[in-house]
Structure 1
Amino acid sequence: MGSTPDVLTEETPSPGARRSSKVTLSLIGGVALEGYDWSIYGIMASFLSPNFFPSHDPVVSLLAAFGVFGAGFFARPIGAALLGPIADRISHRTVMLMSVSAMAICSMIIALMPAYASIGVWAGVVLLLLRLIQGVATGVEAGVADAIAIELATPGRQGRFMGLIGGTAIQIGGVGSTLIALVVSLLVSKPDMLAWGWRIPFAVGGVLGLAIIYLRTNLPETLIARTTRARSSGEGACIHPTTRGIWKQLWDVRLALLAVIMVIGSIQIANYTWVSGLPGMANSVFEEDSSLVFGIATSMGLIWMLCGPIVGALADRIGVSRTFVITRLMLAPAFFLIWFYNSPDIGRFALVMILGGTIVGINFSLYNYIAVTLMPRSIRTTGVGLGYALGVSIFGGTSPYLLLWLRHVGAERLFAIYGATVALLSIVVYLAAKRRGHLYATN
């Protein structure tokens, strides 16, 4: 990888394919839509909760909404297991179209569906089913996008390009979600926001999905096949023609898969804590001004967008492994900033979001690059997709619920200890995988 000191054990790869603007835009658009759809639910959770899970205790309602949020994540490994081998063996374009179509359709249905007041408990049931469908559909999105992106990156500049795809692109979706929420909250009164205004951001997600579907319809499968499946005779590693062969090779690199899960899981704890958990708690528990909360969250997202290429360039210069360890060591103490926001105070909320959020953004810029280097090319989509899905479902999707529940039972300090511990464990498992030779050529 250019001047980086990391040693990659896969045989010398074929030259990466040249990027085209349409291919890059389709990748960025799909990743951004995933970020938008998953972030907007968390951001709107404090408005969804009374509409779908009404209760005399707003915390109970919010816990139910975050429970559905987490359930969607647990469907993602199923999607990765089912769709990952299809992408590796048959067609990445087909899987990418399925993924973005399901995301867009489900968002539009959420925007239009009746709430508890109209159909009772079935409102919550339908919402849960829609989130499960989205989870299955997006379970392989990260694996496909990252596997293609790393092949399109210019040798020696992989960090910059992966920072753009995995860091900046997904934050375009995240910032877009908070920005739309901010605009709607400024234009609509709080009673109207609670009654119907929350539907607008979901409808926006559905409409945006149509544009991404168009871009991916025109994505040439021949390019994807050449960059992710076709191998020259001198490259050694074979492409397994059967799903069974893919799973066998994945078992052979199981330590690397565990490293992918931990590397991604740790940053996803932080991601959904800062994107969904803290804003949800500020809106519902501490009853802060929603417009200010969304404005602060948007500012944090803008910082995250800038972090991607900067941290990626650092990885290109000093090595991806060294950059990962340094930034992940910074993440562990960042979790303890949460202790500072323990009562209604928009100033403290802003401090925790911006200061702690910047450290989270720095870490968020590199996780996808680390993941693809841990998987051999022949199973990269399945391995990265499954590892991502397991990491985000076990750790990320549960973090807003866990944060709120621990605070509800008076044990909120334990959450910071939990987040810091997983961050440090991710370093340990990654270094163990590296020592076992599980770093692979990326293009």
Structure 2
Amino acid sequence: MTIGLGGGVALEFYDWQLYGFMAAFLSPHFFPATDPVVSLLAGLAVFGAGFAARPIGAAILGPIADRISHKTVMMVAVSAMALSSLVIALLPSYKDLGITATIVLVTLRLIQGLAVGAEAGVANAIAIELAPPGQEGRYLGLINGTFIMVGSIGASLVAFLVSAAVSPEVMKDWAWRIPFGVGGVLGLLIIYLRQTLPETLIARAMHDADEGSRIQDTTGGVWRALWKARLSLLAAILVVGSVQLANYTYNFGLPNIANGVFKENSTHVYGIVTLMGSIWMIFSPAIGAFADKIRPSRAFVMMRLLLIPSFFLPLLYVEKNIVIYSSIMLVGGTLVGCNMALYNFIATTLMPRTVRTTGVALGYAAGATIFGGTTPFLLLWLQRSNLSWMFPLYGTTVALLSIAVYVIAKKRGGVYVGD
């Protein structure tokens, strides 16, 4: 059961994040330009556009999951991700199809955005229903920390292996397609495993008399219930957004700058990303268990304050130097990993059961879209404009806001699990 749920989460993040890893290689094939930085910026803009679809997916599929079926929405999401990844692997480039190739790529990214927008909410709703009482942090740390990183590491590891196996010219020409094909094929296995999961909506919440747990009769009822929890929703958006800002800095912004701007050895770049992700994966359940022990709210504030230095470290990477790049990734990345282990759990605790899927999905989608999806583009643009110093101030402000709004929501009764 855990493998089916967590494996789907891993696949979602493998497929989603793979585009970010491959942006420096696929951009010239779909966004040709004389300046490679301009081409990369165009590719990263599409990466950000996929995030724009996340809130739409959450708004459409979240209420369906809260009212009708968690499992059905979960199956739709993972199927859409896998099929889109497979099509990207086979999609002819701009020189073969012209602007049609670009349009199809953008469409596929939007479909993946719709799917991820729903997946985040429904997977967390199911996970917290299945978690042993008093161990919610550890269990969600496993699902959302370890398995997310299995997907992320899988993406960087496959990129690393393919890059190491072929010449740089072959990697730029066509080998970047291989990791997308791997994700599509693995999706078939995950679809099969997810069919064995229970329908937690009916088993755990149907006919519950408590207003915060009752299944809503209409979609309008879902939105009215969510409006009552609007402060918690705002807190969830900032909780997610702050850590996603850091996550996409370290998983995509810095690696793409290393590959596309400073022309570092891509095998080394992906190897460091893989090592960083392995550290996250190993200690995520321990961070969740730590939160169970000292209370999630205390753990969240502590880890979020530790996140702030990670926004300043990228200022040190101003020229080609794999040692500096590696040091930043491992030191700053560890601070980010501490927060990655907790943020989905904290966001889930902020939502009452009656709108948990919709609330978490919207909070995740909005936070990731507003703050995460724009990060790689913003980081590269600021560096190109000699304004890199602005980025850590921006990241610090969002981190502190996430703490402040969370504390206010908690004092007003807006935390529903674990505290």
1:255 Cα offset (Å)? 0.7
Contact 2:163 2:267 in 1 (8 A): yes
Alpha-carbon distance in 2 for matches of 1:269, 1:190: 30
**Structure 1 length-normalised TM:** 0.92
1:175 Cα offset (Å)? 0.3
Find the counterpart in structure 2 of residue 160 from structure 1. 138
Per-residue CA distance 1:87-139 (angstroms, 9 max, x = gap): 01111111111100100010000000100111122221111010001111221
1:410 Cα offset (Å)? 1.1
Amino acid at match of 1:159: G
Q: How much is the aligned-residue C-alpha RMSD, in angstroms?
A: 1.3
The answer to whether the aligner puts 1:362 opposite 2:338 as a matched pair is yes
1:218 Cα offset (Å)? 2.8
Contact 1:150 1:442 in 2 (8 A): no
SS at match of 1:438: coil
Mark the CA change 1:48 to 1:156 in structure 2 (over 3 Å): closer, same or farther.
Answer: same
Gap runs ≥5 in structure 1:
1-22
Find the counterpart in structure 1 of residue 59 from structure 2. 81
Amino acid at match of 1:359: L
Gap runs ≥5 in structure 2:
none
Find the counterpart in structure 2 of residue 322 from structure 1. 298
Alpha-carbon distance in 2 for matches of 1:380, 1:117: 46
Amino acid at match of 1:352: I
Amino acid at match of 1:73: F
Find the counterpart in structure 2 of residue 195 from structure 1. 173
Alpha-carbon distance in 2 for matches of 1:92, 1:394: 26
Deviates more, 1:207-216 or 1:235-244: 235-244
> Which residue, out of 356, 378, 394, partners 2:354?
378
Amino acid at match of 1:25: I
1:417 Cα offset (Å)? 1.2
SS at match of 1:139: helix
1:219 Cα offset (Å)? 2.5
1:224 Cα offset (Å)? 4.3
The answer to whether the aligner puts 1:246 opposite 2:222 as a matched pair is yes
Alpha-carbon distance in 2 for matches of 1:180, 1:339: 29
SS at match of 1:75: helix
The answer to whether the aligner puts 1:44 opposite 2:54 as a matched pair is no
SS at match of 1:439: coil
1:411-422 to 2 correspondence within 5 Å? 411-422=387-398
1:170-209 to 2 correspondence within 5 Å? 170-209=148-187
The answer to whether the aligner puts 1:226 opposite 2:203 as a matched pair is yes
Amino acid at match of 2:203: R
Mark the CA change 1:237 to 1:93 in structure 2 (over 3 Å): closer, same or farther.
Answer: closer
Contact 2:349 2:418 in 1 (8 A): yes
Find the counterpart in structure 2 of residue 8 from structure 1. none
SS at match of 1:391: helix
Find the counterpart in structure 1 of residue 271 from structure 2. 295
Find the counterpart in structure 2 of residue 112 from structure 1. 90
Per-residue CA distance 1:164-210 (angstroms, 9 max, x = gap): 01111100000000000010001111111111100000000101111
SS at match of 2:34: coil
Amino acid at match of 2:354: S
1:442 Cα offset (Å)? 6.2
Amino acid at match of 1:357: G
Find the counterpart in structure 1 of residue 286 from structure 2. 310
Find the counterpart in structure 2 of residue 92 from structure 1. 70
Alpha-carbon distance in 2 for matches of 1:352, 1:224: 43
Amino acid at match of 1:422: V
Contact 2:208 2:214 in 1 (8 A): no
Find the counterpart in structure 1 of residue 409 from structure 2. 433
Contact 1:76 1:138 in 2 (8 A): yes
1:248 Cα offset (Å)? 0.4
How many equivalent residue pairs?
419
Contact 1:261 1:387 in 2 (8 A): yes
Alpha-carbon distance in 2 for matches of 1:234, 1:282: 53
Alpha-carbon distance in 2 for matches of 1:224, 1:299: 37
Amino acid at match of 1:132: L
1:334 Cα offset (Å)? 1.5
The answer to whether the aligner puts 1:335 opposite 2:311 as a matched pair is yes
SS at match of 2:312: helix
1:14-29 to 2 correspondence within 5 Å? 23-29=1-7
The answer to whether the aligner puts 1:352 opposite 2:352 as a matched pair is no
Alpha-carbon distance in 1 for matches of 2:418, 2:223: 20
Contact 1:168 1:306 in 2 (8 A): yes
Contact 2:246 2:310 in 1 (8 A): no
1:360 Cα offset (Å)? 0.3
Alpha-carbon distance in 2 for matches of 1:431, 1:44: 38
Amino acid at match of 1:182: F
Mark the CA change 1:422 to 1:234 in structure 2 (over 3 Å): closer, same or farther.
Answer: closer
SS at match of 1:251: helix
